[in-house]
């Protein structure tokens, strides 16, 4: 009985810790800007090509070419604003 209770407590703790991680989906939300519109905003911001764009942890994330440099970026899913941008070192 004691080991069963301990197992249930461990399971509850694990689910409690995993809960926040599950909250942010890797799928676009219903209120997100469509991927094609995000790509257009990136092109308007100076990107010449977008090689990757995916929903990740509550934002759009991807890679593309800007001024001849391969870049990684994060984009706000509702406004399309670039929130993070850096050269891709891979």
Please, is 64 exposed, middle or buried when counting C-beta atoms within 10 Å of its C-beta (0-12, 13-18, 19+)?
Answer: buried
The set of residues, in sequence order, having a beta carbon less than 8 Å from that of 67 and lying 6+ positions away, is 46
pLDDT tens-digit series, residues 22-37: 445 689 999 999 999 9
The tokens 């050269």 sit on which residue? 87
Please, is 88 exposed, middle or buried when counting C-beta atoms within 10 Å of its C-beta (0-12, 13-18, 19+)?
Answer: middle
| Domain parsing of the chain, residue ranges | 26-87
* pTM of the complete model: 0.71
Is the predicted pLDDT of residue 8 greater than 80, yes or no?
no
CA distance 77 to 79: 6
Structure tokens given for 87? 């050269």
CATH number of this structure's domain 26-87: 3.10.450.40
pLDDT, position 5: 53
């Amino acid at each position: 009985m004691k080991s069963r209770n301990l197992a249930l407590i461990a399971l509850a703790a694990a689910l409690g810790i995993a809960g926040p991680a599950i909250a942010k989906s890797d799928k676009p939300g219903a209120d997100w800007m469509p991927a094609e519109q995000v790509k257009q905003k990136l092109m308007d911001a100076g990107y010449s090509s977008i090689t990757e764009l995916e929903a990740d942890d509550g934002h759009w994330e991807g890679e593309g070419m800007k001024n001849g440099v391969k870049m990684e970026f994060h984009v706000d899913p509702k406004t399309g604003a670039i929130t993070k941008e850096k050269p891709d070192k891979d």
